Structure 1
């Protein structure tokens, strides 16, 4: 039986929602909702903003469709990113609650007043900030919405343990922070693409004890001037990618992507002008990582991988890939296979 529950979202808004929510309009964080809500969550979607997920991670989406065919019947309400998000479609889906990312809530602004007028509560969560506090809070909110607080708590505590372990070991080591650069390699080696300042990969680098060389130049995300990068001399470089890429040289990582393909593309980035003189390239500390696992509680595995890249001796015992795949085994109905994290040397983990 559903009952009124007061949920305090990540913005501190107190929202009354009937829980467990029977008709959820899901704006973002698709896998986190599924992981916390379990099998029942797939049957309680009134609508979904799925375009970004399907475009960037088509192979993973197809796996979910094969496992949960009811997803094919869920209306798509459009995307905030390309301004196709339709309040009319949201209203037509008759949700009990609309679940939005913080950035979606801010972008939609006054348009959300129409949902309030219709008596539809809006709850905001945020994994994009990549902070421990918001990751844990967002997971617990999902537990409230789906009436799975114990499952949410288990997931949140496991994440907290990963972050705490990394931070404690780094603090105890009393060593200088290695310099790190992270870039979304969607444009290939010929053109610098997004790097990250104080959120997403940038915030993750800070959490695991890295000195993010982009932080002084980039607020959230944007490009860094090549000369600034070369002058910063990063010790570690991460190139992020999805399965779905346009350029044959772009960083391609993820479901069904073979390791030799990832390695070939990764080596292409090391041929950029001036990169042969960077410490990261000289010392073979250049890595490919799966961008699809960010903005999610599942980025615990990426945090481990980043920590291991920065401090190989401190974290030799960690198995980030096992952490990633075990999360699916424990909480989700699909079993990914492919390349999700890889070093420039084939034996690097």
Structure 2
């Protein structure tokens, strides 16, 4: 073999090793808790604890193929019609192992380890609930990355989207989605700040128990944080820290000027609020009007002024809640947002970033 050929082979080997090293070189990212983690990016084997649609939206088509484990119970139980659409669009999802749920304490670390993930993505609340288990994952060399859309703050939404973009290798796509979300929030807040109107007293409740029993309302996070983002005065905030029922008498005394009842697709009671995929507007309206018949509610300013609304609980704690923020803003300040179409915003997000198309009722004016 000639010296020239040896040089060519050596050069080729060096270039190949350099290319491999560039692809496999570990990267350091920072999650929403400020924890710095080192892993190879994009992650090829992902175990996802929560925020299913956000992961799909940011990661695009490849995100489905890289999913090796999923905590699917909450998503499938509360939004079965949505899950079925995703599983039809991406049949491999049906074969992704379910590792159980933190909520009902069925989350299995053994099942997680069996999937051999490159990374485990958890919601902040899951990370806290699994505090005693996290060291076992770390000891196995599996990075745990925390994201958080539950806080419903612009900062956490942006940070979480950036992290998902890094993990999936879709940083530009993530930035575009984040910029769109920021624009929605800033437009709402700028208009409200310029108008200098009084903050409407606002009440929102998850209507899963029907009119006979007051279910969860929200204090500082989820719907409560969303009310704050759009300039409302959350009447539950003085009485409910995170989430829980409010005393019915306290609510009557608070005299909310706007009332919103949130619902899922999957409900067990015939009078529970139902919203979402496959739910006809007429059925959602019928259920919403049942809440208007609660004792004492007829005297509330919100009911007297026709400001009772239905909203979709499945579109909270997610990038998809941009549309719900728009609807909240419109419900609170109708004259400021007459040109905004929240329903179109919601459907457009799916058209641009997800493989399914929503058909159903996602916002509802109870007039």
Residue 279, structure 1, aligned to residue 287, structure 2: no
SS at match of 1:158: helix
State the Cα distance separating 1:4 from its structure 2 match: 1.5
Mark the runs of 5 or more structure 2 residues left unpaired by the alignment. Answer: 1-22
How far 1:46 sits from its partner (Å)?
A: 1.2
Counterpart selection for 1:147 from 162, 169, 178? 169
Shift of 1:226: 0.3
- How far 1:111 moved relative to its partner? 0.9
Q: Which residue of 2 aligns with 1:315?
A: 337
Give distance in 2, aligned partners of 1:3 and 1:64.
33
Shift in CA distance, 267/2, structure 1 to aligned 2, threshold 3 Å? farther
2:156 to 114, 129, 134: 134
- Name the structure 2 match of 1:162: 184
Question: Cα distance, 1:17 vs. partner?
Answer: 1.7
Is 1:332 matched up with 2:318?
no
How far apart are the structure 1 equivalents of 2:25 and 2:347?
A: 35
* 1:44 corresponds to which of 44, 58, 66: 66
Q: How does 1:1-349 map to 2 (within 5 A)?
A: 1-345=23-367
Work out the CA distance in 1 between the residues paired with 2:226 and 2:289. 24
Query: Deviation of residue 2 (structure 1)?
Result: 4.2
Give distance in 2, aligned partners of 1:192 and 1:262.
Answer: 18
Cα distance in 2 for partners of 1:68, 1:316 equals 37
Shift of 1:110: 1.5
* Distance in 2 between residues matched to 1:21 and 1:72, nearest whole Å: 21
In 2, the alpha carbon distance for the partners of 1:338 and 1:263 equals 12
CA distance in 1, matches of 2:331, 2:56: 30
User: How high is the TM-score relative to the length of structure 1?
Assistant: 0.98
> SS of the counterpart of 2:209?
coil
1:110 alignment partner, SS class: coil
Tell me how many residue pairs correspond in the alignment. Answer: 345
Q: Pairwise CA RMSD of aligned residues?
A: 0.6
Secondary structure of the residue that 2:130 maps to in structure 1? helix
The CA distance in 2 between the partners of 1:60 and 1:87, in whole Å, is: 27
SS in 2 for 1:167: helix
Distance, in Å, in 2 between the alignment partners of 1:338 and 1:37 is 25
Instruction: Give the drift of 1:184.
Output: 0.2
Q: Distance in 2 between matches of 1:71 and 1:313?
A: 44
Gapped runs of 5+ residues in structure 1? none
| Normalised TM-score (structure 2) | 0.93
SS at match of 2:166: helix
Distance in 1 (alpha carbons) for counterparts of 2:274 and 2:211: 12
Secondary structure of the 1:302 match is: helix
3-state SS of 1:170 partner: helix
CA contact (8 A) 1:2 1:20 kept: no
Looking at structure 1, the residues matched to 76 and 39 of structure 2 have their Cα atoms a distance apart, in angstroms, of 29
TM-superposed CA distance for 1:3, in Å, is 3.6
* Greater radius of gyration (CA): 2
SS of residue matched to 1:124: strand
Shift in Å at residue 60 of structure 1?
Answer: 0.4
Secondary structure at 1:109 match in 2: coil
Deviations 1:124-154 (A, max 9, x none): 0000000000000000000000010100000
Distance 2:301 2:331 in 1: 13
Q: What per-residue deviation string (whole Å, max 9, x for no partner) do you get for residues 93-137 of structure 1?
A: 100000000000000012111101100000000000000000000
